Structure 1
Amino acid sequence: MLQSVLVCAALAQACAFAAESGEFSFAVISHPHKPSSDDAELRNAIESTDAENLAFVVANGIKAVDEPCTDTVYGQKKSLLQTAKNGLIVSLAASDWAECKNENGRSVANGKLNRLRDLFFSDEFSIGESRIPVIRQSTTAKFRNFPENARWEIGGIMFATLNLPANNNHYVFDAGRNGEFEDRLVANRDWLQRIFMHAARDELNGIVLFCDGNPLAKPGVSGRKRDGFAEMRRQISSLAAQFTGKVLIIHGAAAAPSPSRRINWQGKLGELATGQGWVKLSVNQSDPSLFSVAVEPAQARNNHH
């Protein structure tokens, strides 16, 4: 209890400073792109962000696609992420659950998602040394099965995670197999509505959404019968148009393997692909653009090539 009180007090001081100065920074770590026995990619990113003065860090996915979806791997990733000195919030990627298959090549996505929910989102705090209190969607009785969606507020900005895997939002093209997609769609729509409602009520200057897939990207001509992001794209665009501040979506999807790490703005709605490694962003209330990508860290450049 005392530890929780001290953590909340420390966060309150950090938030008060951010609110007073109007400036703070945070970082986003991309999920590992290549499996390794020593987790070098993820370990280096954590160590590099530990050396920065950050309000928090978001891990946009925890494992590479080619790593097995086992309790052993999940446990190793959690143990490593818990060593972070900053408060660290996990935002799930398709590689963590939606692309998981058993030895027969059949999807085990639903079971792995539920396992990750138990392992990573069992309380109302981030992981890492600085335990940041968050509000999970699971505190709403109707959506108690969606703890991975979390939100927190610092310095006049609402931050939130949204479970949108990059594999077409895990829409399955086999008939009658989309119960998970449909349930998560209902939850995500409600979550977005609440995020924007609270941000507007509190007169916040901005909203940042962390997700895996890019819901703003319209699908190309691929013969695909169903765009898994269609509802999210419409809702985000509609809510952003009504919101007075800026809205930034930070995602792990990219049309090219080496994204420019620039925020692409269309009016007050922007998106940023994280690429590989990690990226640092700054918030400055006196800057009309509000959000900016800091000079690309050396570690991010090294992973980038």
Structure 2
Amino acid sequence: MRASRTITVISALTLVVAVAATGPLRAAADGDQSGQHGRDDTDSSRVVQIGVFGDMPYGDYGRAHFPSVLTDMNRSGLDFSVFVGDTKNGREACFADPHPSNPANPTPEKAVADAAHPDVYKAALKDFHSLRAPLVYVPGDNEWTDCDRTSIAGGAVSDSSDRLAYLRTLSYPTDQSLGQRTMTLTRQSAAYPENVRWETKGITYVGLNVPGSDNNFSTGGKDGPAAESQAEYAARNAANLEWLRQGFAAAKAKGSTGIAVFIQADMWDPTASVTHFEDTKKELFRQTVAFPGQVLLVNGDSHHFTVDKPLTDYATTNAAGLAGPNTIENFTRVTGFGEDQNHWVSITADRKDPNVFDIRQHVIAANVPAYTPPSG
């Protein structure tokens, strides 16, 4: 999804944001899956270095800058990275090579790949496999939800459900991550292989298919057939909520001191319809307040690096006696870069640090534009 909005952005190039602890933390768990990816420092037995990026490359501008992002991530010694959706912009067609599809799909197929329009899904996988460390891919709306929009360039529309099925087949064929070096993931089911969970060095990680464009809930018109999208939303939303509950239960059972959840949608975007994220936010509230450690949500979608605490309770008067709800203090949200800002974010996770998660932005000098001074 695209967004043009003003938002509070934390912009110091070397900023480190510590996620404040608010309560007692539990002992670390055994059974790390990626301990072999440790670093050459005194904390290698417990520290995990994570790269986060998404909403790129967008158009020719993004494709020119994207290699620098991948190169910078490759030389940063990451243990793994997560791509939080949108491998292209929403105006570009969802070109795909011929593949089996449901003949009952209601949207005519007008985006068959050819020499002039290569398969965008295979191109994204090629980029992902250029990363040395394991890569977990959470899909975004531009890869499937928006494929049947009437605003697609050249009218090359395709069916959103077909593209989601195609993406699932290509991107999640086994229990291994993407990347040159892989790690084992727990997938929710054959129906929802993009929903994943893994545990590394005492911290639990969960990936969910929660995309922009109001979680693929369409009322028809420019956003594709309403009945198809609403049925898809209902089934996936139920699966997502169950996977979220299972993720927190697994974190508690393992004694994880933190849990990080990765999705594509910015569920608090004031410029977009967010009605059909309400179930997800309510479940995050229930699970977070019952979790004895730190909770980190990472999303893309709105393209501006931000660290904030948007999750609240449902009080009408808060603890200070002021109008409005209370902020959930052990919940922190990170929104990554994207679109015209082709950079990435790193997260240092340390199970023994009371803060658990430290967030740092990586602004790539080669991708910084020439700025226009004021006139006069």
What letter matches 2:70 in structure 1? I
Equivalent residue for 1:81, pick from 114, 128, 149? 128
Equivalent residue for 1:68, pick from 83, 93, 99? 93
Cα gap change, 1:301 to 1:164, in 2 (>3 Å): farther
Instruction: Please identify which structure carries the higher helix content.
Output: 1
CA distance in 2 between partners of 1:67 and 1:293 (Å): 31
1:190-205 equivalence runs, <5 A? 190-205=242-257
Max radius of gyration: which structure?
2
What letter matches 2:169 in structure 1? D
Preserved CA contact (<8 Å) 2:205 2:261 = yes
Per the TM alignment, residue 232 of structure 1 is displaced from its structure 2 partner at its CA by 0.6
* Counterpart check, 1:229 vs 2:280: no
> Equivalent residue of 1:228, what SS?
helix
* Counterpart check, 1:176 vs 2:227: yes
CA distance in 2 between partners of 1:35 and 1:104 (Å): 17
Post-superposition CA distance 1:55-105 (Å, at most 9, x none): 101112222223321121111111121111111111111111111127657
* Counterpart check, 1:293 vs 2:344: no
Cα gap change, 1:64 to 1:210, in 2 (>3 Å): same
Per the TM alignment, residue 263 of structure 1 is displaced from its structure 2 partner at its CA by 4.5
> Equivalent residue of 1:100, what SS?
helix
Per the TM alignment, residue 39 of structure 1 is displaced from its structure 2 partner at its CA by 2.9
In structure 1, runs of 5+ residues without a counterpart are 1-7, 139-143
* Counterpart check, 1:240 vs 2:277: no
Residue number in structure 2 paired with 1:273: 335
Cα gap change, 1:264 to 1:137, in 2 (>3 Å): same
Per the TM alignment, residue 41 of structure 1 is displaced from its structure 2 partner at its CA by 3.3
Q: Which piece of structure 1 moves more, 144-153 or 281-290?
A: 281-290
Cα gap change, 1:169 to 1:300, in 2 (>3 Å): farther
Residue number in structure 2 paired with 1:160: 206
Preserved CA contact (<8 Å) 1:31 1:42 = no
* Counterpart check, 1:129 vs 2:177: no
CA distance in 1 between partners of 2:284 and 2:32 (Å): 33
**What root-mean-square deviation, in Å, do the aligned CA atoms of Structure 1 and Structure 2 show?**
2.9
CA distance in 1 between partners of 2:39 and 2:290 (Å): 28
Preserved CA contact (<8 Å) 1:248 1:269 = yes
Preserved CA contact (<8 Å) 2:207 2:262 = yes
What letter matches 1:272 in structure 2? V
* Counterpart check, 1:13 vs 2:75: no
Residue number in structure 2 paired with 1:117: 168
Residue number in structure 2 paired with 1:146: 192
Preserved CA contact (<8 Å) 2:93 2:156 = no
Cα gap change, 1:187 to 1:34, in 2 (>3 Å): same
CA distance in 2 between partners of 1:252 and 1:127 (Å): 19
Per the TM alignment, residue 267 of structure 1 is displaced from its structure 2 partner at its CA by 0.7
Which protein, 1 or 2, shows the higher relative CO under an 8 Å CA cutoff with sep ≥ 6? 2
Cα gap change, 1:160 to 1:47, in 2 (>3 Å): same
Residue number in structure 2 paired with 1:5: none
Q: Which piece of structure 1 moves more, 148-157 or 35-44?
A: 35-44
Equivalent residue for 2:241, pick from 177, 182, 189? 189
Per the TM alignment, residue 15 of structure 1 is displaced from its structure 2 partner at its CA by 6.7
Equivalent residue for 1:27, pick from 51, 61, 72? 51
CA distance in 2 between partners of 1:229 and 1:272 (Å): 17
CA distance in 2 between partners of 1:194 and 1:258 (Å): 30
> Equivalent residue of 1:117, what SS?
helix
CA distance in 1 between partners of 2:187 and 2:215 (Å): 20
What letter matches 2:159 in structure 1? V
Cα gap change, 1:19 to 1:38, in 2 (>3 Å): closer
In structure 2, runs of 5+ residues without a counterpart are 1-30, 97-118, 221-225, 311-327, 372-376
Residue number in structure 1 paired with 2:146: 99
Q: Which piece of structure 1 moves more, 76-85 or 231-240?
A: 76-85
CA distance in 1 between partners of 2:183 and 2:290 (Å): 29
